[in-house]
Amino acid sequence: MSDISKSPKIRSAVLGAAGYSGAELCALLSANPYFELSYAFASGGRDPEPLASLYPRFARQVDILVEPWQDSLIPELDIEVAFLALPHEASEEVAPKLLAKGIKVFDLSGAFRLKQPELYPQYYGYVHQHPELLEQAVYSLMEWQTEPLGDLVSVPGCYPTACSLALLPVLKAGLVAADCIPVISATSGVSGAGRKASLTTSFCEVGLNAYGFFKHRHRPEIEQNLGRKVVFTPHLGNFKRGILATCVVNLNPGVSAEQVKSAFTQAYTGKPLIRFTDKSPNVADVAGTPFCDLYWQQDGEQLVIMSAIDNLLKGAAAQAMQAANVRFGKPETAGLFAGAVA
């Protein structure tokens, strides 16, 4: 076994470190023995501030100063990789500049997830300025990753991660009826909306409600992953973090329970971040962890699959860390368990 302490660490930066996913990335990088968190940046115009001041739970765990970002800093950056936990337009603007300097980019926004640039005005509300990068970007749904990760990695969205991990095993195994349109109902905690204060995500205002009917930006990403249309209805729940997705499909006639079980076990044997549960998963059991918990029930040709993840970890920062580990030839789960916090 190689001596980790003697190996040079991979120098990294997090842009968007003041946000929920960015802060989680800082914690994961700090806990990963193969990486060094060299810089943490937030939006320009703010004063430098220790991450532990923004998030006291990281005190004595993450010793980094969150500094204001400006593009003029790029020539001075001594890093190999940058993690972008930024709004979509901001990621799209800064990613080409970092790539031009030879810095590998892992983007947690939706800026490079869709392969069809014409979908961005409809679902993201702006015209994509770098459509050439959509083909270059490698989408990193890690349990289904087959394409080598390159210099630009697009980390999947939280809802698409939960839904795709639930449905891909039976779809890839050919068990789902050809004319079936999966119906997905998924509920996310309020941290999915980001840290910025808003009346719509205040705990005093949030109960349980559906939103984004047919127009949610994660719908085309889910359809791209699954290779078929879906009915996707997201909900906002009154809890901090986590996603619970309920996915319903019609199976081909005669598909047995053993075939369904085999599809899941074959798909996820050797996948360390997938857990099968013996009852419907609970977001409380995945919050603060990098796992995806899966459970299913079958009644004849109807199949219901439940999927639970932490939207900030498996749905964002942990999947980015998982992808970076693989990209740089390190153990896939390095830093993920030590960095997880409840």
Catalytic residues: 158
* Angstrom distance (rounded) from CA 136 to CA 270: 28
Between β-strands 65-68 and 49-50, what pairing exists: parallel, antiparallel or unpaired? antiparallel
Q: How many other CB atoms sit within 10 Å of the CB of residue 202?
A: 11
Cβ atoms of 130 and 209 closer than 8 Å: no
> Which of 80, 131, 132, 70 is CA-nearest to residue 101?
80
Which strand (E) or helix (H) includes residue 257?
helix 257-268
| Token code pair at residue 242 | 């986590």
Query: Strands, E, within 163-276: which ranges?
Result: 183-188, 208-210, 231-237, 243-250, 274-276
Contacts of 59 (CB under 8 A, 6+ apart): 52
SS3 247: strand
d(CA 187, CA 230): 16
